[in-house]
Structure 1
Amino acid sequence: MELTGKVALITGGSNGIGAASARRLASLGVRVVVADIDAEQGKAVADEVGGVFVRCDVTVPSDSADAVALAVREFGGLDIAFLNAGIGTGCSLGDDFDVETYRRAMAINLDGVVYGAHHALPAIRERGGQIIATASMAGLMPMPGDPVYGANKAAVVGLVRSLGGAYPDVRVNALCPAFADTGIITPLRSTLEEIGMPILPVSAVVDTFMSIVEGSGTGEAWFVQAGRESEPFGFRNPPGPRAADGSRIQGAHKDPVSIALKEN
């Protein structure tokens, strides 16, 4: 895929996976908009890669709209929306449950992707581009230690899989890394090291990100796991409905909601 001259918007672009992805894309000729609430570090990354910075709180819908508008205004369009901003949750549903902590995690990790995708779609569709959302291995498997994080990341995976079938002119995929060497694992680092859990270098996550960018699939959730070659996670097909006599129902594989909306 020829990337020179393409335009990418990266939320959470001031550090970690977002910043590393900005550097990789820029090295391939992509014009990058770095969006983050950290203006000082975000502007530093944008200056480093020859891009532009926009302050963006992904929990505020208008901020996502403004970030997309800036990309279009500065560079003429938008080809890649990397909805990467995210935080750890750090609470269970037991005695340590805190409503504000819960709402903040859901607002950043899920609402931020919804708002970002909503506002990016028109510009992305104009150029036949793609949306990539950072989910997590926690979205593909149980996460007993942080069930709220598991819930919002699983929701991102579900959103991406549905969007992948909703817009034939846009590719929508999820990036699902295990524990990567970013600030989000700081509270867990010593525990991970004690139990021998591999910590992924950020470069390995970016490699998979680039595989998605340069690929052709949609509605996929690419896992990034130590010692494994990254690829789309293989979801099993759920059991479909049957008629009263046990026979298969014609068209049961289709989405009746989408059909009804198109007919109306």
Structure 2
Amino acid sequence: MAHVVVVTGAASGIGAAVARHFGGLGAHVVVADVDEAGGTAVAREVDGLFVRTDTTREADNLALIAAAVAAYGGLDVVHLNAGIGDGGGFGEDDYDRARQHRVLAVNLHGVMYGLHAALPALAAHGGGSLLVTSSMAGVGAAPFDPVYAATKYGVIGLVRSLAPAWQDKGVRINAVCPGIVRTPILRPEAVEYITAQGLALAEPAEIAASVAGITAGEETGRAYVLQAGRSPEPVAFPKLELARADG
């Protein structure tokens, strides 16, 4: 039986590549995005279903998962990939409350709504894999966009904290942390600058192949760095142990 795969932010970039990859494997793919034209085109390409989804709205997340289950009978893989950047900074010239709230709404609250909608449905179908797109900014530093970095750290915390509770229900929860990827979010001048520095850009299709491999594995509660030409690299987090008082 073909797997059922839901991908948010799937009208372009990494999300579109993930949809195409799973479509090429014969999966039933549900493409979710606010971009109706782009999302419809990708869904048509993979012979899947497009559901217009504003991930900042809890009702849209619930409707997305309900539509996938109604169309295909259940869920096997959910990739919460939708995200944006440019949250500004904290100086006099770049502080913008509205921009900050928008980045938080999409990158953090949107993931929370997606988790709330998808996890019970995955468990009800006998288990499956849920993947969240974080970023290398979520395990390092991003001076150019600290608000974006905060949200990407946040989703890794969600993944690591939720994974143990859902493991017994057969649901694996992991995060991917892509590096520099050739997507529409990068302006042409940014691509020129990056390549001039001798840095490699990963192609979305390369990231998608890694995503598929991670969802097929048995690990849970992990975050994987994805860079051009490299296999997924699990992030090593410190093991925390409670200190005991003497005596």
Is TM (by shorter chain) over 0.5? yes
The aligned residue for residue 100 of structure 1 is 98
The aligned residue for residue 259 of structure 1 is none
Task: Give the aligned length.
Answer: 242
| Separation in 1, partners of 2:200, 2:225 | 15
Residue identity matched to 2:149: G
Residue identity matched to 1:136: S
| Separation in 1, partners of 2:231, 2:70 | 38
The aligned residue for residue 255 of structure 1 is none
| Separation in 1, partners of 2:129, 2:228 | 26
Structure 1 residues 71-97: Cα deviation after superposition (integer angstroms, max 9, x where no partner): 011111111111000111251222301
Establish whether residue 172 from structure 1 lines up as the match of residue 173 from structure 2.
yes
| Separation in 2, partners of 1:79, 1:210 | 12
| Separation in 1, partners of 2:110, 2:185 | 17
Instruction: Output aligned runs, 1:165-244, within 5 Å.
Output: 165-168=164-167, 169=169, 170-186=171-187, 188-238=190-240, 240-244=241-245
- The 3-state SS of whatever aligns with 2:185 is helix
**Unaligned stretches of 5+ in structure 2?**
none
Instruction: Output aligned runs, 1:1-264, within 5 Å.
Output: 4-94=1-91, 95-127=93-125, 128-168=127-167, 169=169, 170-186=171-187, 188-238=190-240, 240-245=241-246
Structure 1 residues 30-57: Cα deviation after superposition (integer angstroms, max 9, x where no partner): 1011010000110111011110101000
| Separation in 2, partners of 1:91, 1:83 | 23
| Separation in 2, partners of 1:52, 1:158 | 31
| Separation in 1, partners of 2:229, 2:76 | 31
Moved over 6 A (4+): none
Counterpart contact for 1:208–1:222, Cα < 8 Å: no
Task: Name the Cα RMSD after superposition.
Answer: 1.5
| Separation in 1, partners of 2:75, 2:165 | 19
**Unaligned stretches of 5+ in structure 1?**
248-264
Counterpart contact for 2:87–2:103, Cα < 8 Å: no
Structure 1 residues 125-182: Cα deviation after superposition (integer angstroms, max 9, x where no partner): 0121111011101111111221111100000111111111111221001011001001
Counterpart contact for 2:179–2:226, Cα < 8 Å: yes
- The 3-state SS of whatever aligns with 1:183 is coil
Counterpart contact for 2:80–2:130, Cα < 8 Å: yes
Shift of 1:227: 4.5
Shift of 1:25: 0.4
Counterpart contact for 2:21–2:205, Cα < 8 Å: no
